[in-house]
Structure 1
């Protein structure tokens, strides 16, 4: 099942018992951030829709992606689908790419148009997500930009999720780190001493949000991937009002403006996905000059903090599958990749082992991928019979397969994720590889090991016990 917009998905969540409505008036702080944290703390926590927010006129929804049940429903799967099955289904749909988007003349996001007296506070119910945030942050935006060197190349249009701090009625700050695609666009624009036009879509089809936070290749289209993940149903796009940028037709709000060239102002601190506050850094600014939105738009934002929270569910499998695809091209022996931990700072690879040292080679390939190079810091490699999504099995491999003086490797002076508080200086790190695979020749293995396998009919008994538990 594909959803045409956020509202249709919210209706599905409510039908499935995965959305709660808060009808009483709430204060923006601390209630919305606290509810986002609380919902993520619950097993299969629901989305939370606030119908009345004091001081504002529009609704807020949070935790839309914040559970494996919601994640499965996003993909049109039963809400109790196991994580490993969701991984393999996502991997299957990945191969449908590209499914070209459908361009339409207009859409719900154009119902209201504002070009004068821009005031973000009149449209968005803004609030601090965590107590010591340096201001109001928009944490779930799909930011659209184009390569200024190739302004008509649709495939070099980027849709990315970057944190945004509201600086004033019509000015916002944006974090564009050097390894993000938008940073390439910005660098080229600033070399030309020109502003970079952007369109910021808020409250979109959950698959588009999913793809906006997915690390794909520079010349691959997030929108055409979204069509693939929707099972082959294309997304509907309209042109932005002020530039050759494509935005989701069903978006709740679209902010249009330009990144001011060669201007940097203080941004942060902000409670980030590693579970700690970032520092204050000099980041670029955007001046908003046009807003379009639906009647009575819903402001969608997410809570992020100590894992797991909504952002961890959002970035879990869409980090794992691209890394798996990239590894599989070079090493077909790779079975699965679990990069669900802190946006891939921790990654577990399951692979068949062809020869001695193979596990380390696979790990080093992951560290050379566009996402693994800056993000991944701790890489664990396990045998093909170990489920990388089953941490009990991974711990078994670590405790029975690792000879620390031989199987643990440190690689110094590598690129790192600057938001990782252990990165020093920010953006540099030492990488850790743990090879927890069974040694094969010519790697020495002085002891013979015979694995204990499941007794016959174990799978049938698993199903029988499940049915007994369900009362069947």
Structure 2
């Protein structure tokens, strides 16, 4: 059974024991120190989480942590795997646990929930509670970049499966007001539109500093009627996630171990300027009219830890967080129709570019798999480029992918461009935000009836390669 974390603090303890958490003990300014540290740590090989123990202007004990998910070592530890586990090994372990879904969450009483230790139900002031800061210097304000937002379906509020746990960027607009980006392809946008039909306030809970797999699932593209908490239990290798009922809303449940829970409502049909913000494509997104919420009630742990992440030129923490949680669900969606697919690598900029490893049975099947990917709920808006490689190519090893592109692609027949497709407005390459062309590159070996005018014999690994891989790995681990 894998090690399971029901809150952020126990995971931070593990990171510290494994040498994957460092403390900045000197007093720092929120800007530019925290963003700078997040940028620096995510660029380091197996970069650690960084805890700031003393923030200027805030009382002792008010800490900030960043880069919690910001390396493959931390990502592996999140799942209870050795920190040396490869990306490919983590992909297939996630794929195995995915099949355990659904695992119903464990609903704990209010007295058992650490997130309910303290209550603020009047004079709400986010600036007093959280050491807020601009993540990048041209951000339009102070952003919360790593919250999990819990909402329900207004037309079916008691349906637990339709309760959404999502991650959307949040701009703090005032002491009790936040702006939130809810793009049309997001589940929350569908729910908000239903509430606004009736001009009704839309209940929300915003949770900060969550168990690592809660944060992971909140940023994972799953079906609208698939509950994220039930996936958390599956990825915990069958151990249910602990949740507790919201103080204000009987139909919403929050992670019991959260550091901070903000409760309130999105104001119907209100849109105010939000942004610009340094986004995951590595560029500023500009400013748009977005919805606005009022926070009326807060619960939090003693000395709450404010967890935030840095977004910048890839790779940064958000790229690690949204790498395999994009790859595995798309793999699961493709497999029923294309069992020949071995793995999917959708790690690059939240799946803007995706690599499919496949063993085609007939000519043209690989291209068909690309079209299927481009019709998935996430692939349709996000994916711009699809690369197809043979099953012998590890899609997570870019050296092998580049070999396939270099030796298997004839530009006159293997490169296809499809115009006027759905896009993702945050992609700076789109001339009209939300519309784009799609690129498919077929780097697989031709299969009958596709002509293959020159066959080749591939080099194979020497017979004892796997044996010596283990020997050398064991010797390295002893150092």
TM-score, normalization by structure 1: 0.99
Aligned mates of 1:456, 1:208 — CA distance in 2? 42
**Residue of structure 1 aligned with 2:66, choices 52, 59, 62:** 62
Task: Please give the per-residue CA displacement for 1:67-121, whole angstroms capped at 9, x wherever unaligned.
Answer: 0000000000011111100000000000000110011111111111111111001
Residue 398 of structure 1 corresponds to 405
- Aligned counterparts of 1:454 and 1:73: Cα–Cα separation in 2: 31
Partner of 1:240: 246
Is the counterpart of residue 9 in structure 1 residue 11 in structure 2? yes
* 1:367 CA drift (Å): 0.3
Are 1:452 and 2:459 matched, yes or no? yes
2:307 paired residue number: 300
1:162 aligns with 2:164: no
Alignment of 1:220 with 2:226, yes or no, is: yes
Deviation, 1:355, is 0.7
Identify which of 60, 78, 81 aligns with 2:82: 78
- In 2, Cα distance between equivalents of 1:93 and 1:353: 26
Matching residue of 2:182 = 176
Aligned-residue RMSD, C-alpha: 1.0
**1:272 counterpart (252, 266, 279):** 279
Check 1:73–1:56 CA distance in 2 against 1; reply closer, same or farther (3 A cut).
same
Task: Provide the rounded CA distance (Å) in 2 between the counterparts of 1:375 and 1:125.
Answer: 32
Partners in 1 of 2:169 and 2:224 — Cα distance? 20
One of 244, 253, 267 as aligned partner of 1:260: 267
Q: Structure 1 CA distance, aligned partners of 2:305 and 2:330?
A: 33
Q: Sort the Cα spacing of 1:291 and 1:98 in 2 relative to 1 into closer, same or farther, 3 A.
A: same
Aligned counterparts of 1:128 and 1:108: Cα–Cα separation in 2: 28
- Superposition pairs of residues 358-397 of structure 1, within 5 angstroms: 358-397=365-404
* 3-state SS in 1 of match to 2:326: helix
Superposed displacement of residue 446, structure 1: 1.1
TM-superposed CA distance for 1:22, in Å, is 1.0
Q: Secondary structure at the match of 2:279?
A: coil
Equivalent in the alignment of 1:193: 199
Q: CA deviation at 1:456?
A: 2.0
Q: Residue 471 and residue 236 in structure 1: after superposition, are their counterparts in 2 closer, same or farther (change >3 A)?
A: closer
Counterpart CA distance in 1 for 2:457 and 2:360 is 16
Corresponding position of 1:134: 140
Equivalent residue for 1:96, pick from 89, 97, 100:
100
Moved more, 448-457 or 195-204: 448-457
Match for residue 441 of structure 2? 434
Secondary structure in 2 matching 1:167: strand
Return the alpha-carbon distance in structure 2 between the equivalents of residues 453 and 208 of structure 1: 42
Q: Displacement, 1:275?
A: 0.3
**Residue 463 of structure 1: how far off its partner (Å):** 2.8
Instruction: Find the aligned partners of 1:468 and 1:190 in 2 and give their Cα distance.
Output: 62
- 1:295 deviates by 1.1
Alpha-carbon distance, 1:469 to partner: 4.8
Please identify, of 52-61 and 223-232, the stretch whose mean Cα deviation from structure 2 is larger: 52-61
How far apart are residue 461 of structure 1 and its match?
A: 2.8
2:158 alignment partner in structure 1:
152
Which residue matches 1:124? 130
User: What SS does structure 2 have at the residue aligned with 1:373?
Assistant: helix
State the alpha-carbon separation in 2 of the partners of residues 49 and 17 from structure 1. Answer: 13
- Cα distance per residue 1:347-379 (max 9 Å; x no partner): 000011011111110000000000000000010
Q: Which runs of 5+ in 2 are unaligned?
A: none
Q: How far apart are the structure 1 equivalents of 2:376 and 2:294?
A: 34
Shift of residue 464, structure 1, vs aligned partner: 3.3
- Tell me the CA shift for residue 273 of structure 1: 0.4
Question: How far, CA to CA, are the matches of 2:85 and 2:54 in structure 1?
Answer: 33
Select between 461-470 and 19-28 the one with higher mean Cα deviation.
461-470
Map of 1:291-370 to 2, 5 A cutoff? 291-370=298-377
Deviations 1:16-46 (A, max 9, x none): 0000111110000000000000110111010
Closer, same or farther: CA 73–389 of 1 in aligned 2, 3 Å:
same
Question: What is the aligned residue count?
Answer: 472
TM-score in terms of structure 2 length: 0.97
CA distance in 1, matches of 2:173, 2:478: 57
Structure 1 segments, 4+ long, off by >6 Å, are: none
Change beyond 3 A, Cα 1:266–1:64: same
Separation (CA, whole Å) in 2 of partners of 1:466 and 1:199: 45
